[in-house]
Structures are given as structure tokens and as C-alpha cells.
Amino acid sequence: MQRGIGIILRAFLILFLFAQIGAASAVLPAPVQLFPDRILVNLLKSPGQTFIVSSTPNPMKVIIDSNLPIAGFAASQEVSDAALARIRYSELGEGRYRLVFDFNYQLFDITALETEYDITLEIAKTYTRTTERVVTRGVVYGHQRRADSFGPNVVNYIRVNLAVGNEVKLALAQNRVFGSENVSALSERYGAIAAVNGAFFSGDGRPVGLVAIDGELISEPYAARTALGIGPHGLAMERVDWQGQVFVAEEWLAQISGLNRPRLTDELIIYTPIYGSWTGTNDYGFEVTVVDGTVTNVQIGNSPIPPNGVVLSGHGLNREVLSQLAVGDEVAINIQLTPPWLEQGFSQIIGGGPRLVRDGELSLNGEEELFRSDVLQGRAPRTAIGVTASGELLLVTVNGRQPNISVGMSLAELGRLLIELGAVQAMNLDGGGSTTMVIRDLVLNLPSNGQERPVSNAILILAPQK
């Protein structure tokens, strides 16, 4: 009995293996070979057989017509490949046979080598087609349609020469910390020649990470992430940390926790006029208003922010520390970046990350900079900023989440793209639905949401005033 069961099991196993072999062979006909960068098709000729090869760009097809049956193809079938969707074989009648390769997107390089015995087609799956045009003196716009083994992408980039007077400026939506605005609206309001979305931001529109505009610190660094600084001697890219301290009569009083953001447990936050007219805090904190280094007001929660001063807001132990101060006390606030970019005259600073390129080499440090998996993993629409060896600024966007049009890039792929475009230093910026590029008030990329997403801040390129 057991011997009979064993024979039956072996028979089922043999049938299963044959079925698997048959399924595998059905996946791809023998004359067709798939490689990451190309497709090879080798068709053997019968005596008197001829082949006519043609193609159509939209939809993308490669068509092979013959006067005799084409060996190796018995039926139509779907293909699991980023570029090749299906293979269709049919008899048209009157001694005509047709083989059609349907592709998911347009391909450009198709070569055919024919001998008296066979014909071999090589269809390239990877390509880069680039066009560039001058927007204004020192500003060049580039557009790429490209494909790699994972699919197609649409890339837009701007190369900016700052040596001829072009200016880089950061802008907040609605000119305040909280809020959102389309990049195109920000660009139009400032009269920018070009713009891209900037730093990451929270759901309420507040920048997350380092932002300084015209030498004024707007928000503090987070996790010492990579930042780009625009200074009197050019561009710099480094990881930037910070510390802030409060002194009374030259005696250390407290450590500052943050700048222009909601106050959390046991924190001491500084609110400046860019935050708004009021701190909006609750009654669990104590607040001190400082104008020209002197305490002008003390109260519990939701203080008015003077146009020429700041408010210190403390919770927990910091509440107790601040409650010791009185009107008329002299207070000094010391905030320093590391490296000391503010002291060195860097007027526009934007935090991003993770780092993509360092000294011309791919350099990814997303985990060090405490980025979540939704930023680090997979392909997505991307925005990046880089610096070339000659000191030019590169702004790059990659469309994404658009199957068979533009699938987006991983961070490693984005870094390699920046290197290809000439960057020696580069970092990632906010991406996904935020990715937007504007030139002369025209949105040039296709946002993944189908329309612009309002953002917290943007990087603007201003041409010299005539």
C-alpha cells in the first residue's frame, strides 16, 4: 500500500515538474532573450523565407512580417518585463504571417542584422535623450526622456551660473512659517525666472529642518541633516547642527529646544515675528517677551510677538526657569550653527537630505539623518539640488508614479543622475507630490497628483535686475 502511494506521489511530482518546465518555456519563446538593457530576437529562415521589419512609436510596436510561418512562435502571450508587454503571433492569410512586439513605452534604438540563414533584432531598453535651451543669461533648462531596466522617466533640470548675477533666494508660503502655496504662485509673486519646491514640511505647512532667509534663522536643523548654504563666496553643502542658549546678566539660564514651532513637553521655544502675531501656546507654559535684549513682558501662554523682538516660551522645568525673569531684566539669546554659516555670511540656507553625492561620488546617509522608509525606499517623484565643479547650481526634478511614462527614481538612482549631470555635491529635497519645477511661471513637470501640491517653501532663481 505504501509502495503504491509512493509511486502515485512520484508521478504527481513528475507531472508537476513537467508543468513547471512547460510554464517556464511558455513565458518566453526560444527566439526571444530578455536582458536588463536590451531584447534580442533571433529568427531562423526557412528556404525562400523573407522578413520585413517595421515599427510604430505610439503605441510602441515592432512588427515583423513574413511570407512563411515564423519558427518558435505558436501563440500570443503576455510578458513580464518593464519594457515588453506582450508578443502576438498570427497568420494573416494568403501566405502572410505577422509577429508583433507590444511595448509599454517608446523605444528608439532598434537594429536588425540579416544573413541568408537568420535575422537578429536588438532592441535597446535603456536610453537617454536630452534637450537643452537657454532661459536667460546663465540659466539653462534641460529636459530628458530616459529609460533604464526598471522603466522610463522624465527628468527636468536647471543649471544656474551665479557668477553672472543670478540670485538664489528661499521663500516661505504666504511669507510666514505656517501655511502653504503653490510653487508657481511663489515664483510669480517674487518675479522669479525659475523655481522648485524646497524643504520638507509638516501637515500645518511648517518647514521641517533648517531654513534661513536673508540671514534670519527661520527653523532649526533636525538630526543634523544635510543643508545647502548660499554665501558671499559661493555654495556649500554640509551636515549642519545647532545649539541655542539663553543668558541673563551674562549667566547661562537655559538651553533652547527649537525655533518657530509648537512647544512640546519640557521644551523652550523661541518665537520670532515670522511665526505670526501670537505664539498660540496653551496655559501650561510661561512666556517672556524680549525686545532689544530687555524683558518687556511676562505672562502665561499665548503671548503677542512684537515686530522687533521675540518670545521665549517654556514648559516643565523651562517654565520654572523663565518664571524667575521679570520686566527689565537683560537677556541675551545666542544661537549658533555648526559649521558657523550665519557668522560666515551665508544668507540663504535650506536643509534637506539625505546626502546623495559627496566629492563626485555616490554617498547615501539616509539612516544617519533619521529619514523614514517612505523617503529612503522605493521609487518616487524626486527633487534634488546639487553643485557642480565650477560652482554652478543644479536643480533637478524627476516625475514619478506614472506607469509607463515616468516611474520615479530611488535615491541611489537619483544620486547617479546628479553625477551624470555634473554634480560633485548633491542632496535630496522634499519629493513625492511636492515635486514641482517652474520656469517663467510655467509648471514644466507633471506632478504625481495631477496638479500642483501647495508647499511650505520654495527655492527661487532671480535674474539680475536690468
CATH, residue 111: 2.60.40.3500
Whether 68 maps to a domain, the answer reads yes
Instruction: Inform me whether the pLDDT recorded for 11 exceeds 50.
Output: no
Residue 270 pLDDT greater than 70, yes or no: yes
Average pLDDT over residues 450-457: 94
**Does residue 321 share a domain with residue 346?**
no
Q: Do the domain assignments include residue 10?
A: no
| Mean pLDDT, residues 156-178 taken together | 96
Query: Does residue 160 share a domain with residue 139?
Result: yes
Range of the domain at 203: 130-217+341-462
Q: Which of 282, 247, 289 is nearest to 267 (CA)?
A: 282
Please report which confidence band the pLDDT of residue 24 belongs to, taking 50, 70 and 90 as the band edges.
Answer: very low
Per-residue pLDDT at 374: 86
Cell numbers for 343: 557668522
Which of 106, 70, 107 shows the shortest CA–CA distance to 91? 70
Q: Are residues 351 and 456 in the same domain?
A: yes
pLDDT score recorded for residue 80: 92
| Reported confidence tier of residue 79, pLDDT bands at 50, 70, 90 | very high
Report the amino acid identity of residue 445: N
Residues 353 and 293 grouped into a single domain: no
In a domain, 23, yes or no: no
Query: Which one-letter DSSP state was computed for residue 75?
Result: S
> Residue 331: its pLDDT value, please?
97
268 within domain boundaries: yes
* Separation between Cα atoms, residue 237 and residue 259, nearest integer Å: 22
Q: Which of 26-35, 100-109, 245-254 shows the lowest mean pLDDT across its residues?
A: 26-35
Would residue 300 count as lying in a domain? Answer: yes
Domain boundary among 313, 338, 363: 338
Tell whether the model's pLDDT for residue 352 goes beyond 90.
yes
Position with higher pLDDT, 21 vs 229: 229
Beta strand residue intervals within 183-240, DSSP E: 194-197, 211-213, 216-219, 226-231, 234-239
User: Would you state the pLDDT for residue 75?
Assistant: 86
Say whether pLDDT at 423 is over 80.
Answer: yes
Mind listing the pLDDT tens digit for each residue in 424-447? 999 999 999 999 999 999 999 988
The answer to whether 435 and 197 are in contact (CB under 8 A) is yes
Q: Is residue 20 over pLDDT 70?
A: no
Residues 34-64: tens digit of each pLDDT: 999 999 999 999 999 999 999 999 999 999 9
What is the band of 148 on the pLDDT scale with cuts at 50, 70, 90?
Answer: very high
| Same-domain status, 392 and 294 | no
User: What's the number of domains the chain is made of?
Assistant: 3
- In the three-class reduction of DSSP (H, G, I as helix; E, B as strand; rest coil), residue 310 is classed as strand
Residue at grid coordinates 517595421: 54
| pLDDT recorded at residue 27 | 72
Q: Which of 70, 103, 125 is the last residue of a domain?
A: 125
- Amino acid of residue 242: W
Task: Answer yes or no: do 119 and 263 share one domain.
Answer: no
Question: Can you tell me the mean pLDDT for 260-264?
Answer: 97
- The last residue of a domain, from among 103, 125, 147: 125
Task: Name the more confident of 466 and 22.
Answer: 466
So what's the pLDDT on residue 3?
Answer: 47
Q: Is the pLDDT of residue 305 over 90?
A: yes
99 plus 151 within the same structural domain: no
> How confident is the model over 407-419, as pLDDT tens digits?
999 999 999 999 9
Which backbone phi and psi does 213 adopt, to 5 degrees? -125, 125
Whether residue 16 is contained in a domain is answered as no
Residue with cell 535630496: 428
Query: Residue 92's CB: how many other CB atoms inside 10 A?
Result: 10
Whether pLDDT at 147 is above 60: yes
Residues 305 and 415 in one domain: no
Identify the band that residue 403 occupies on the pLDDT scale cut at 50, 70 and 90: very high
In a domain, 3, yes or no: no
**CA 353, CA 221: separation in Å to the nearest integer?**
11
**355-400 residue pLDDT tens:** 999 999 999 999 999 999 989 999 999 999 999 999 999 999 999 9
pLDDT confidence of residue 74 = 86
Other beta carbons within 10 Å of 61? 15
> Domain check: are 281 and 311 in the same one?
yes
Residues 110 and 145 in one domain: no
Rounded to 5, what percent of the chain is helix, strand, coil? 15, 45, 40
Give the model's confidence band at 449: pLDDT under 50 very low, under 70 low, under 90 confident, else very high. confident
pLDDT tens column, 207-239: 999 999 999 999 999 999 999 999 998 999 999
| Domain contains 234 | no
Please indicate, yes or no, whether residues 313 and 353 belong to a single structural domain of this protein: no
Residues 152 and 145: beta-carbon distance below 8 Å? yes
C-alpha cell, 42? 533571433
Which residues is 139 bridged to in the sheet?
136, 160
Q: Which amino acid is at 234?
A: G
441 and 401 part of one domain: yes
Q: Which residues contact 348 (CB under 8 A, 6 or more apart)?
A: 168, 169, 170, 212, 213, 214, 229, 230
Let me know: does 443 contact 436? Beta carbons within 8 Å. yes
Write the CATH number for 285: 2.60.120
Beta carbons of 137 and 118 less than 8 angstroms apart = no
